[in-house]
Amino acid sequence: MRVAVVSFETVHHRESETNRRLQTILELLSEGGHDVHVCCAGFWDGDRSPIKRAGITYHRTAAGLEARASFLARVPFVLAKIGPDVVHASVRPPKQALAARWGGALARAPTVLEWYGDGGVANDWWTRRAARWADRVVVPSELVGTWVRELGVDGSAVEVVPNPIDLDRIDGVSPGEPVDVVYARRLDSDANLESLFLALAELRTRDWRAVVVGDGPEREAYEGLASDLRIDDRVTFAGACSLEERLAIYRGAHVFAQTADHCAFPTEMLWALAAGCVGIVEYHADSSAHELVEGWDRGFRTTSEEELADAILDAGTLERRADDDRFASYDAAAVRDRYLSIYRTLTDSSNPL
């Protein structure tokens, strides 16, 4: 299948959750043998276009990030030249959804809109229009799906497809040192690590050890809080770690705690749960993390530090594991099949016998 992706900015321009999600999809499709083309602003030296990297073909549809207007004008014609079976566009910036729609019409291909939702969903005129221009809108969680439907999108046009993980990669890592609780996230203003620390402080008379994975502008403040709460001797700040290092920590840990205020999809938590951790989520209105533990006997949902402390104690009664096959449907191959199913449904309906 030939898939044309419209994304003015890519992970090669800037690292972000939205760009990383889209790059992961491109790589999954390419690794599955599909012909993947990306219309984007140029990020490579020289004027040569298209170029191919890791099996993905990139078309310089604008000279750089300063040339947004020319990008929007050129997208429909580049898409028509590519001749894709399906057009897959990122919602940022929203005007490119219209350009992708026009290009899809020229190529006689349906349009799928990728809407990750990190940073929330804007409710402006262009965003509302973008939401209605696509044949399908793909979101990572029910939370983001709700935000999109609130813009006036028909619920039947919204598809939830989670971020993928690689179960084989988990199996290939040996468990690290046993710890009781692990937290992993960029330590910024949305991390809300204080909730976990306050819960752990309630349990200071118990025997436990915790690891905080990640770095960021609030790390020093959180290290100071651990000291103020007199738990710093039992909390290890591991800093930024590679995926293999994180997986080793998760496979050795008993509980993964998710307390962040904002989360479009809890990818790091998913890795940890598939690596055998019990999941504890502090509920927040702008976080989808609770969706991973609802209806699961190794998952807890809390709303306060007191409930979080109780959940840590209750989780301690559950067996330790180094993997969990409940999350097989989140494996990369299964997620790729979800996208292909969406594409085939749309192409079949647009080309009836």
* Same domain assignment for residues 256 and 232: yes
| Conformational region of residue 39, where left means phi above 0, alpha means psi within -120 to 50, and beta covers everything else | beta
Whichever domain contains 113, its CATH number is: 3.40.50.2000
* Same domain assignment for residues 307 and 256: yes
Output the CA angle 46-47-51, nearest 5 degrees.
Answer: 90
* Same domain assignment for residues 52 and 106: yes
* Same domain assignment for residues 281 and 340: no
Number of separate domains in the chain: 2
What amino acid is encoded at 164 in this protein? P
* Same domain assignment for residues 66 and 175: no
What amino acid is encoded at 292 in this protein? L
Hunting for tokens 């807890």 — which residue is that? 300
DSSP-derived 3-state class of residue 238: strand
The one-digit pLDDT tens for each residue of the chain (353 residues) are 999 999 999 999 999 999 999 999 999 999 999 999 999 999 999 889 999 999 999 999 999 999 999 999 999 999 999 999 999 999 988 999 999 999 999 999 999 999 998 876 777 888 888 888 899 999 999 999 999 999 989 999 999 999 999 999 999 999 999 999 999 999 999 999 999 999 999 999 999 999 999 999 999 999 999 999 999 999 999 999 999 999 999 999 999 999 999 999 999 999 999 999 999 999 999 999 999 999 999 999 999 999 999 999 999 999 999 999 999 999 999 999 999 999 999 998 755 43
* Same domain assignment for residues 183 and 312: yes
* Same domain assignment for residues 199 and 343: no
Domain, as residue range, for 97: 2-164+331-350
* Same domain assignment for residues 151 and 243: no
